[in-house]
Amino acid sequence: MSGSSASLQPPADAVKPVRHPDAPAPGELLGAHYEHCFGCGPGQPHGLHLEARAGEGVSLTAEFTVQAAHQGAPGLAHGGVLATALDETLGSLNWLLRTIAVTGRLETDYLRPVPVGTTLHLEAEVTAVAGRKIYSTAVGRLDGPEGPVAVRADALFVEVKVDHFVDHGRPEEIQAAMNDPDQVRRARAFEVNP
């Protein structure tokens, strides 16, 4: 992305990201990280229901179809919804690192309108890691993986411990997630977003 701020530029000592050996295989659907997540959760009637698939290395693809409930201007996706789609996609990359991280900074460029009914195809990758900081980039295209670029973003995620969520989330949701007998679902519930 051109013109991103200095805080989104990896430092000189940053390293190339390494896919975790237990990460989902390329092509595997990642699934929702949390039932009630607005970005990917099936429990949100007006959510994005974004679906992400693992790619090669530390990359993935995702898509969602813009619904009438996602409008800003008549017939067009709200910019905040598009930023949410980018944030959700970028946050899902952390599952390939098997790292719990939250969004520290997200810079989005809006290049063309995204009409209701359009399927936005997203591609994202982690570009560098420096200590607890994870640098990543994404692009969203209209109507197919080769379609015109509509949105793009650069992001900085910061690795955190699960205590971050326990200390700041609503106790009833935290307890429900912590009591899930499925270890993978339990870990993924605390995967993305501040």
Q: Could you give all domains of the chain from N- to C-terminal order, each with its CATH number?
A: 28-160 (3.10.129.10)
DSSP-based three-state secondary structure for 75: coil
60: nearest Cα among 103, 90, 20: 90
8 Å CB contact between 66 and 73: no
- Helices and strands (H and E) in the chain: how many: 5, 6
Please give the chain's pLDDT, 194 residues, in tens: 455 788 899 999 999 999 999 999 999 999 887 787 878 888 888 888 899 999 999 999 999 999 999 999 999 999 999 999 999 999 999 999 999 899 999 999 999 999 999 999 999 999 999 999 999 999 999 989 999 999 999 999 999 865 555 555 556 666 666 666 766 665 666 655 44
Beta-strand relationship, 133-142 and 149-159: antiparallel
Q: Are 154 and 137 in contact (CB under 8 A)?
A: yes
pTM of this prediction? 0.84
| 41 within 8 A of 50, measured Cβ to Cβ | no
